[in-house]
Structure 1
C-alpha cells in the first residue's frame, strides 16, 4: 500500500465526500477534535449520522457539486463508494492541486502518530472495537476509538474521543484496506473465506491477515482468537515469520492468561472468568458465546495498553464494569423493540459462520422463545461460493424466511438466485418459506407472530425494514410503547 500523510491538523480545512457514512462521520469527528476545520458533502437522503454532524457543527452540502469544495481545503477524504476518476468534487480537488485520500488511507495516516490498535477479523471486529472502547471509558487512558457501527455506549455514535495517545480502530479486510493501517497492537478475531468477489479463496484471505500482522513493529502485540481455526492458522504462520512479536491468544481453548473458564449462561446474561484475573466473574448482558470471546479480546487489548502505561490500579474491576455496561452496537443483535410479547431484533450477520453463532447465541439468551429468522443474502458471489454453508447455517431457527439476493453496487447481476438458496435450505430445514420481495412476508408474519416469539432480521441487505414495520404495527395494535 502507498502510505499517505495527513497535513498538520490544527487549523487545516478538510473536506469529506460521502461524509454521512458511519466511518466517515466518525473520522470527521476525530479530526475535528484534533483541531481540523471539517466540512463535506453527501446525498440528500437522511441518515442517522445527520443528527450527529449537526450536533458537531459540521456543515454538510446535500448533493455533489464542484462549487461545494472550499478553495482553502488542504485535503479531500472520500468514501470508497465514490470513484476518484468520475466524481466532480474529487476531480475538482485534483485540478486545484488539493491532496486526496480514501477513507482507508486517511485512517492509516491517523494511525501513524498515536499508539494504534487495529481490530480485524471476518466477524467480530465491530463488536470487539465497541467493547474495547466501553472498557476504555472506565480508565483514564488518553485514547480515541472508531468502530464501524453506532454503539449504545458511545451515545449512539461510532466514535469515542478522550485523548489522542492511543487510537483503537476497526480495520477492514476488504480489498486489503487494512494494509493502510500502522498497528502497534493487532487483534484478529476470525478468518474465513469471504469477499470472494475480490479474494480468490480462503488462502488468499489468510495471506492478507498474515501480511497485516507483518506491519506490527518489533515487539508489537498480536492478540488472536485461539478458538478460531483461521486466526490460529495465521498465528502459526506469523510466529514463524516474526518471532519478535508478543503473541497473546485468547479463548476457551487458549493457553496463557486469557483463557476463558467458568462459563455460565442463562436468560439475559452470561458470566465467565479469565485466567489472568483469577476467579473474578465477569458479567455480559448481550447474547452469544462469540461475544464472550470478543470480551476476552477487548480485555487483553486494554490490559496491554494499561501495562504500557504502568497502570497499577484494579484492572479487573474496571474491565468488569465496562463489560457489564456494554449494550451492543447498531445492527449487531440490536433489539428493535418488544410489543405484544414479541421481541424483534435486527442483526447484520451475512456470512454463514456469523449467522450460525448469532442464532445459537440468541437461542441461549432466549431459551423459551420460538425463533423466526428473516434472512436476505448479500451479493451473488458470496451466496454462490458459500451456498452449502448458508443452507445449513439456520438449523437453530424454528422458521426461516428467505428472499431474493441483495445485490451490491459492484455486482449488479449473478448466476444464482434467492430461490436456489431456498431450495437448498429446504433440504436441511423443516420450515422454510420464500418471499421474493421483503414486504411480501408482511401480512403472513403479522398473522404468524405470537406472544413469546423472537423475530430476527439478518443480513447486509434492507430486510431490516420488515422488522421495523412489523414492530410499529404490533405496537399500534397493542396500543403500547416500546
Structure 2
C-alpha cells in the first residue's frame, strides 16, 4: 500500500517470488510480462501485447510479450523450506475508498503516505488514520504479522505506534532497518539489513 510505488513494488516482488520457485498468485494494478501464465500454463499469442484499461482488456499488435496484471499461482508452495504450506497471495493494496481495509494480510508494506484521495478522506490526518487502521489488521508478531514501512515520507511514527506486529523500516536513510543504496552512474543497487549486504543487482 502507499501513495507511490505500489504497483512497482508488487510487480518486482512478484517476479522475485516467481524466480525463487514459490509460484505465488499476484494481483497488481499494472501490467507485468514476467507474471504471465502462472500454474495455468495458459499462453497468449506472443505477437499480441495485452493491456488492461477502464473498458476492459484491449490488445495492440506491437509484437511484444504478453502482459498481465494477474498471475494465478499454486494452491501450495511447490518446493523449498516452505513446501506444501498454503500458497502465497501477493496483492497491491489501494487506499481509495478505504478498500484496503477489506484485506487480511500477514505481511504488508507501506511505501509512502502523502495527501491523496482527499475527495474521500478530506484531510491528510484522516488518510494517516486509514493507513494506521490498515496496519492494525496485521496479526501479532507471534502470529507472523510483519510490517515494512518507508523510513521517511510515510508518517511511520503515527502509523506504527502501538502495533502488535513486527515493524521494520526501509529507505535510503542509513538509519533504516533495510537500507537501499543506488549508484545513478552504474545503476547498481544494493540492499542492506542492519548493515549487512543482502542483495545486489544492476
TM-score by length of 1: 0.31
Which structure is higher in RCO with an 8 Å CA cutoff and minimum separation 6?
A: 2
Deviations 1:224-254 (A, max 9, x none): 11132xx1x2x32344221x31111111115
Quick one: distance in 1 between partners of 2:107 and 2:199?
Answer: 25
The alignment of Structure 1 onto Structure 2 pairs a total of residues equal to: 156
In structure 2, which of residues 157, 163, 167 is the aligned counterpart of residue 247 of structure 1? 167
Deviations 1:139-180 (A, max 9, x none): 121421110111132240111223231110011101101000
List runs of 5+ in structure 1 lacking aligned partners: 1-119, 284-482
1:227/1:254 contact within 8 Å kept: no
- Give secondary structure in 2 for the equivalent of 1:216: coil
Quick one: distance in 2 between partners of 1:171 and 1:129?
Answer: 9
- Show the counterpart of 1:226: 151
Shift of 1:280: 5.0
Say if 1:196 and 1:257 are closer, same or farther in 2 by CA, change over 3 A. Answer: closer
Say if 1:205 and 1:256 are closer, same or farther in 2 by CA, change over 3 A. Answer: closer
- Show the counterpart of 1:281: 200
In structure 2, which of residues 2, 5, 11 is the aligned counterpart of residue 130 of structure 1? 11
In structure 2, which of residues 179, 192, 196 is the aligned counterpart of residue 259 of structure 1? 179
Equivalences for residues 297-336 of structure 1 within 5 A: none
2:149/2:169 contact within 8 Å kept: yes
Equivalences for residues 31-46 of structure 1 within 5 A: none
List runs of 5+ in structure 2 lacking aligned partners: 36-65, 76-86
1:239/1:245 contact within 8 Å kept: no
- Show the counterpart of 2:139: 217
Asked if 1:206 corresponds to 2:137, the answer is no
Equivalences for residues 120-159 of structure 1 within 5 A: 120-154=1-35, 155-159=66-70
Quick one: distance in 1 between partners of 2:14 and 2:161?
Answer: 31
Quick one: distance in 1 between partners of 2:21 and 2:135?
Answer: 28
2:148/2:170 contact within 8 Å kept: yes
Shift of 1:181: 0.5
Query: Deviating runs (4+, > 3 A) in structure 1?
Result: 254-257
Equivalences for residues 298-377 of structure 1 within 5 A: none
2:10/2:92 contact within 8 Å kept: yes
Quick one: distance in 2 between partners of 1:149 and 1:168?
Answer: 14
Quick one: distance in 2 between partners of 1:180 and 1:150?
Answer: 23
1:273/1:282 contact within 8 Å kept: yes
Say if 1:145 and 1:200 are closer, same or farther in 2 by CA, change over 3 A. Answer: same
2:7/2:30 contact within 8 Å kept: yes
2:173/2:179 contact within 8 Å kept: yes
Quick one: distance in 2 between partners of 1:169 and 1:179?
Answer: 13
- Higher relative helix content: 1
Quick one: distance in 1 between partners of 2:200 and 2:135?
Answer: 32
2:17/2:23 contact within 8 Å kept: no
Say if 1:206 and 1:141 are closer, same or farther in 2 by CA, change over 3 A. Answer: same
